Amino acid sequence: MATTTSYADDDARWAAGRSRDRAADGVFFTCVRTTGVYCLPSCSGRPLRKNVEYHPTAEAARAAGFRPCLRCSPDAVRETLTWAIGDTELGLALVAMSPAGLRLAILGDDRAALVADLNHRFPKARLVEDGSGLADVLSAIAARIVRPDAAPDMRLDDRGTELQRAVWQALRAIPSGQTVSYAQVARTIGRPTASRAVAQACAANPLAVITPCHRVVRADGGLSGYRWGVARKQALLAREGAA
């Protein structure tokens, strides 16, 4: 997955550290002479610039006499996620891709709130914005909203517990234009008494629209809740003729 961010000089590296740019994590390491530690650029520490030097790898930082920061654990293995935000007919969509596939697709109205959600979900990941590289993924999400039967041709990386993954798989089998109850989903996955757990799995769904948790309603037909707003749930069902 390509990145479009470069840190060609110390000014750019310092700016990345001041903004806690997580796209810079692993690209270079910030070494603080006064404490003797090396950090990720996104580390919450705030050294003075005169006390900082940069090294391209952790090995180079250690060779220069620095030790890993206990706060940001720069030697920990970090997954890289590329992400982007685009417009849909139901507001903004943020998508994030891992090497294994689509990891996140969420909806909202505020860019800053979506990015904050991304950061909260993946506090240890290296996050790289890549709008051009994910343009097709965003287009697929937007198309799915307009044409619910559209089946995006992409791999999914919807990690969760065994029960959550069973629920999400069952949700993807619900045809457009139909709704089911939480109890029906529980029976489908062979857990007839697990209606509450099904509701919790729906609330934890990381792939809005792709895994259509909006097609699950209360036993009396009421819409119940929806992580991205009941109005969006109603709009999605109306488009599918299921409202």
Q: May I ask the CATH class of domain 80-146?
A: alpha beta
DSSP state of 25: B
Residues of the chain with CATH 1.10.10.10: 162-239
Residues of the chain with CATH 3.30.160.70: 80-146
- Rounded Cα distance between 115 and 117, Å, is 5
What tokens were used for 69?
């920061």
Amino acid identity, position 203: A
Active site residues: 39, 213
pLDDT tens, N- to C-terminus, the chain (243 residues): 334 457 999 999 999 999 999 999 999 999 999 999 999 999 999 999 999 999 999 999 999 999 999 999 999 988 999 999 999 999 999 999 999 999 999 999 999 999 999 999 999 899 999 999 999 999 999 999 998 887 777 899 999 999 999 999 999 999 999 999 999 999 999 999 999 999 999 999 999 999 999 999 988 888 888 989 999 999 999 998 865
This prediction has a pTM of: 0.84
Q: May I ask the CATH class of domain 162-239?
A: mainly alpha
CATH code for residues 10-68: 3.40.10.10
Residues of the chain with CATH 3.40.10.10: 10-68
| Contact call for residues 66 and 31 (beta carbons, < 8 A) | yes
